[in-house]
C-alpha cells in the first residue's frame, strides 16, 4: 500500500540528508574539531579487552583528556578505533556496547588487537549510524509486506486509518484512589482497548504516574509480558526506574543514559552477572583467553609445527567461546522470560535479546517526539498499542526540510489522535504551575480543559508576588544581532540579569525576615531559557560576570528550551531575542517549542521580548493581551533606573 511506500521514501530522503551533514562534519575536519563536535574521543587509553559473542573482541577504553566535552557516543552506535599515526589505514570498525562517564566498551570486528594499537595516539570516531536507519527501513518493509500479503494486519489497518479500533465492554472499572479522575479514565481506556489507546498528557499532568499504574493494571489483567519503549534513553530510564520501584520485574535492554546503581541493576549485563550459571562462563572465558595468549606467544616467522600448534590453540579458544555463547544465550532466554516488563528505546526494541519476541501490549511513551518509522519497529511485535505523549510539545528532530514538509514531521501520535478520537483520554489536572502560568497554554493548545490542582493553583514565590510577567522591550533599542546563523540580543540578556538580580534581592530579604538565615537550601530553582543557542552562550558568559549570583551556582541553570522538555523550575525566564523593524521572528514561529518554554515554571514565569516584533504572529499578540488582562504586562522602560 502507498502508506508505507511513502514513509520509506521520506526515510530515504532523511537518511541521505543526515549522511551528507555527517560527512560534512567529518570528512575535512581535524580530530580536535571532531572532538569539539562531540563525534570523537581523543586521546584514549585501552583499559582492558575480552573475547565476546561471535569471536569478536570487546575493548574497554577511557578518554584521558577533554573529559568535560559533551559527546554523542552512545550504546549501539557504530564507531571506529583508530591510530592518529595513520588514521586512514590504522582503523578497526565496531559497535559501542557500553558507555558510562568517560569509559566505553567497543566490540571490534576482529578477534585480536591490531599491532598499531600498541603505539601512537588512539581515538574513537563515531561512524554514520546506518543501523538505526536499517532497522526503521526493515520495519517499514515488513509492515508493507504484511499488509499486502496477509490478512492479519488488523492493528496496522487501525493505525493507518483503514479500520476503527474496538473496546471490551465487560472489563471491571479500575479504581486507583491516589489518581485523579482523568488519570483513572486513561487507565480504564487502556484496559478496555483491544488495539489502541492514547494518553494525551499536557505538561505537569502526571503522564508517567498514569502509565506506570496502567502497566501494573495490564499485567494484573493479562498476566502477560509488556514491552515499554520511548525515543530517548532518558525517557526509557525514567519509566524503568518507576516501574521497578512499584515492585515489577523490569529488564532494561540497551544501555541506560543515567548511570545510577538502581538502573544498572535492571540491565541485562547486571542481571547476567548475578545469574547462577555465570561462574562457569567466567571460567570458560578465562580458559579461552589463556589459549589465545599462548597462541600469541608464537612469533610470525615459524615453521609448520609451530603454525599447526598455533592454529590448534586458536581453534580450541574458538570452540570454548562457542560454548560460552550457548551458555550466555541460555541465561539471556531465562532472564527475558522471567521479566514482566522489558524496556528499550524504539530502535533498541530490535536488540538481539528480544528481536524475535512478540507481545500482547506495547507501550510507546513520549510518542510526540518519536519518528513514525521508528515506532513501527516495536509495533510489529504487538497486538495492542498504547501511545502516550503530547503532540503540542516538541516534535521529533528531523534533518531534512524536504522530508519534514512532505510529512515525516507528522508523528503517528498526531495521526492517531485525529483519526481515532474515541481512543484518546486527555489528562486534565496539572500539578506543576500556578493557574495564571497555565492559563494561556491551556486555552491555545488544550481547549481550555486544563485545571490547576489546588496544591499549585495559587502558589507563589512569596506573598503578593506576580506569577506571570511579560516585559516589553519595544522602543528600548535592544536590537538583535546575527552571529553565524543564530540570533543574539546582548542588551536583552543584560536586562534579564538586572531583573533577576532584583528578584533575588527581594527573595533574600524576605527569607531573612522570615527565617533569619541566608542559606541557599530553600532558595528557589531558576531556569533561564532561550530558543537561540548563541543567546545561551551570551547568557552563560554574562552570568559568570555577576559575582552576587555565583553563590547560588546549582540553583540557576541556563540552557535551550529543548533541553528543558520534561523538566520544571520554580522560576523561569525566557529571553525571546528577536527585535527588528521587519517583524522577522524566524523559528519563534514554532509555537510548540514556546508551549514547552512557557510551561516549565511552577511559581513565576518572566517572558522578555519586543512586542512590536512578536505581535505579527497571533500567538504572541494574544499572549500579550492575556498578560495585560492579568495585569502582568510591564514595559522595560519602567526599569530604566535599575
For the cut 80, the answer to whether the pLDDT of residue 442 exceeds it is yes
How does pLDDT run across 514-545, given as a tens digit for each residue?
654 445 678 999 999 999 999 999 999 999 99
How does pLDDT run across 226-261, given as a tens digit for each residue?
999 999 988 999 999 999 999 999 999 988 877 678
Which residues does 440 contact at the CB level (< 8 Å), separation at least 6? Answer: 598, 622, 623, 626
For the cut 50, the answer to whether the pLDDT of residue 63 exceeds it is yes
CB-based contact 47:60 (threshold 8 Å):
yes
Lowest-confidence pick of 45-59, 374-388, 551-565: 45-59
Higher pLDDT among residues 306 and 195, named by residue: 195
Q: Which of 41, 9, 97, 56 is nearest to 403 (CA)?
A: 9
At residue 559, the 3 state secondary structure works out as: strand
- Take residue 130 and report the three cell numbers written for it: 546506518
pLDDT, position 183: 98
- Take residue 103 and report the three cell numbers written for it: 569509559
The set of long-range contacts for 261-268, using a CB threshold of 8 Å and a minimum separation of 24, is: 263/237, 266/240, 266/241, 266/343, 268/332, 268/335, 268/353
Residues in the chain: 642
pTM, rounded to two decimals: 0.91
Question: Cα–Cα distance between 102 and 47 in angstroms, integer?
Answer: 12
Q: Which of 588, 575, 592, 574 is nearest to 616 (CA)?
A: 588
pLDDT, position 74: 85
Average pLDDT of span 358-362? 97
pLDDT, position 292: 80
Question: Cα–Cα distance between 95 and 97 in angstroms, integer?
Answer: 6
**C-alpha distance across the termini of the chain, in Å:** 65
CB-based contact 611:428 (threshold 8 Å):
no
In percent, the amount of the chain with pLDDT more than 70 equals 96
Per-range mean pLDDT, top range of 118-132, 146-160, 420-434: 420-434
Backbone angles phi, psi at 28, to 5 degrees: -110, 20
Structure-derived torsion over alpha carbons of residues 398, 400, 402, 405, reported in degrees to the nearest 10? 10
For the cut 70, the answer to whether the pLDDT of residue 457 exceeds it is yes
Question: Cα–Cα distance between 461 and 482 in angstroms, integer?
Answer: 35
Backbone angles phi, psi at 122, to 5 degrees: -105, 155
pLDDT, position 152: 66
How does pLDDT run across 159-201, given as a tens digit for each residue?
999 999 999 999 999 999 999 999 999 999 999 999 999 999 9
Higher pLDDT among residues 27 and 399, named by residue: 399
pLDDT, position 514: 64
Averaged pLDDT score across all residues of the chain: 92
How does pLDDT run across 7-32, given as a tens digit for each residue?
999 999 999 999 999 988 888 788 99
Q: Which of 208, 212, 174 is nearest to 193 (CA)?
A: 174
Indicate if the alpha-carbon torsion angle 174, 176, 181, 187 is positive or negative: negative
pLDDT, position 146: 86
Question: Cα–Cα distance between 513 and 464 in angstroms, integer?
Answer: 16
pLDDT, position 516: 46
Which residues does 365 contact at the CB level (< 8 Å), separation at least 6? Answer: 207, 208, 211, 228, 229, 230, 235, 239, 388, 389
Compute the chain's Rg from CA coordinates.
Answer: 28
CB-based contact 359:226 (threshold 8 Å):
yes
Q: Which of 612, 622, 627, 569 is nearest to 591 (CA)?
A: 622
Amino acid at each position: 500500500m502507498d502508506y508505507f511506500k511513502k514513509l520509506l521514501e521520506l526515510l530515504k530522503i532523511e537518511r541521505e540528508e543526515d549522511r551528507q551533514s555527517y560527512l560534512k562534519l567529518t570528512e575535512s575536519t581535524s580530530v580536535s574539531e571532531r572532538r569539539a563536535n562531540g563525534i570523537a574521543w581523543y586521546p584514549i587509553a585501552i583499559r582492558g579487552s575480552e573475547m565476546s559473542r561471535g569471536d569478536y573482541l570487546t575493548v574497554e577504553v577511557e578518554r584521558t583528556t577533554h573529559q568535560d566535552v559533551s559527546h554523542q557516543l552512545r550504546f549501539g552506535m557504530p564507531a571506529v578505533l583508530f591510530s592518529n599515526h595513520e588514521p586512514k589505514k590504522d582503523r578497526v570498525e565496531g559497535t559501542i556496547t557500553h558507555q558510562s562517564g568517560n569509559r566505553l566498551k567497543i566490540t571490534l570486528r576482529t578477534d585480536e588487537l591490531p599491532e598499531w594499537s600498541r603505539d601512537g595516539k588512539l581515538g574513537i570516531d563515531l561512524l554514520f549510524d546506518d543501523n538505526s536507519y536499517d532497522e526503521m527501513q526493515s520495519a517499514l518493509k515488513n509492515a508493507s509486506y504484511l499488509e499486502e500479503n496477509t490478512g492479519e494486519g488488523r492493528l496496522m489497518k487501525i493505525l493507518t486509518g483503514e479500520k476503527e479500533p474496538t473496546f471490551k465492554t465487560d472489563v471491571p472499572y479500575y479504581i486507583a484512589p491516589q489518581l485523579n479522575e482523568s488519570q483513572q479514565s486513561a487507565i480504564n481506556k487502556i484496559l478496555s482497548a483491544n488495539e489502541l489507546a492514547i494518553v494525551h498528557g499536557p505538561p505537569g499532568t502526571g503522564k508517567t504516574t498514569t502509565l506506570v499504574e496502567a502497566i501494573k493494571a495490564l499485567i494484573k489483567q493479562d498476566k502477560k509480558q509488556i514491552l515499554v519503549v520511548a525515543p530517548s534513553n532518558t525517557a526509557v530510564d525514567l519509566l524503568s526506574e518507576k516501574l521497578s520501584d512499584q515492585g515489577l520485574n523490569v529488564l532494561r535492554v540497551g544501555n541506560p543514559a543515567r548511570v545510577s546503581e538502581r538502573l544498572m541493576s535492571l540491565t541485562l549485563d547486571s542481571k547476567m552477572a548475578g545469574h547462577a550459571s555465570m561462574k562457569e562462563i567466567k571460567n570458560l572465558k578465562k580458559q579461552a583467553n589463556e589459549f589465545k595468549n599462548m597462541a600469541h606467544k608464537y612469533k610470525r616467522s615459524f615453521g609448520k609445527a609451530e603454525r599447526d600448534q598455533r592454529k590448534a590453540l586458536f581453534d580450541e579458544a574458538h570452540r570454548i567461546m562457542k560454548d560460552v555463547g550457548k551458555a550466555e544465550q541460555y541465561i539471556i532466554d531465562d532472564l527475558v522470560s522471567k521479566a514482566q516488563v522489558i524496556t528499550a528505546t524504539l530502535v533498541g526494541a530490535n536488540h538481539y535479546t528480544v528481536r524475535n519476541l512478540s507481545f500482547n501490549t506495547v507501550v510507546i511513551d513520549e510518542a510526540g517526539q518519536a519518528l513514525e518509522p521508528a515506532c513501527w519497529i516495536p509495533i510489529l511485535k504487538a497486538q495492542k498499542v498504547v501511545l502516550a505523549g503530547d503532540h503540542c510539545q516538541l516534535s521529533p528532530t528531523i534533518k531534512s526540510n524536504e522530508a519534514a514538509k512532505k510529512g515525516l514531521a507528522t508523528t503517528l501520535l498526531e495521526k492517531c489522535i485525529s483519526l481515532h478520537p474515541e481512543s484518546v483520554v486527555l489528562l486534565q489536572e496539572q500539578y506543576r504551575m500556578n493557574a495564571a502560568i497555565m492559563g494561556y497554554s491551556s486555552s491555545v493548545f488544550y481547549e481550555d480543559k486544563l485545571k490547576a490542582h489546588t496544591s499549585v493553583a495559587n502558589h507563589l514565590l512569596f506573598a503578593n508576588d506576580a506569577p506571570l510577567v511579560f516585559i516589553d522591550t519595544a522602543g528600548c533599542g535592544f536590537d538583535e544581532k546575527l552571529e553565524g546563523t543564530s540570533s543574539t540580543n546582548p542588551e536583552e540578556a543584560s536586562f534579564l540579569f538586572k531583573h533577576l538580580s532584583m528578584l533575588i534581592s527581594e527573595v533574600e530579604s524576605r527569607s531573612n525576615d522570615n527565617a533569619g538565615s541566608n542559606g541557599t537550601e530553600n532558595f528557589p530553582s531558576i531556569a533561564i531559557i532561550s530558543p537561540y543557542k548563541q543567546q545561551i552562550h551570551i547568557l552563560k558568559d554574562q552570568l559568570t560576570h555577576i559575582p552576587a549570583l555565583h553563590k547560588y551556582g546549582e540553583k540557576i541553570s541556563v540552557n535551550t528550551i529543548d533541553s528543558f522538555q520534561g523538566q520544571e523550575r520554580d522560576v523561569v525566564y525566557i529571553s525571546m531575542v528577536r527585535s527588528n523593524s521587519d517583524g522577522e521572528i524566524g523559528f519563534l514561529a514554532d509555537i510548540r517549542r514556546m508551549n514547552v518554554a512557557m510551561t516549565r515554571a511552577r511559581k513565576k514565569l518572566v517572558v522578555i521580548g519586543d512586542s512590536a516584533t512578536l505581535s505579527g504572529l497571533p500567538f504572541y499578540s494574544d499572549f500579550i493581551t492575556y498578560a495585560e488582562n492579568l495585569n502582568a504586562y510591564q514595559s522595560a522602560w519602567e526599569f530604566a533606573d535599575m
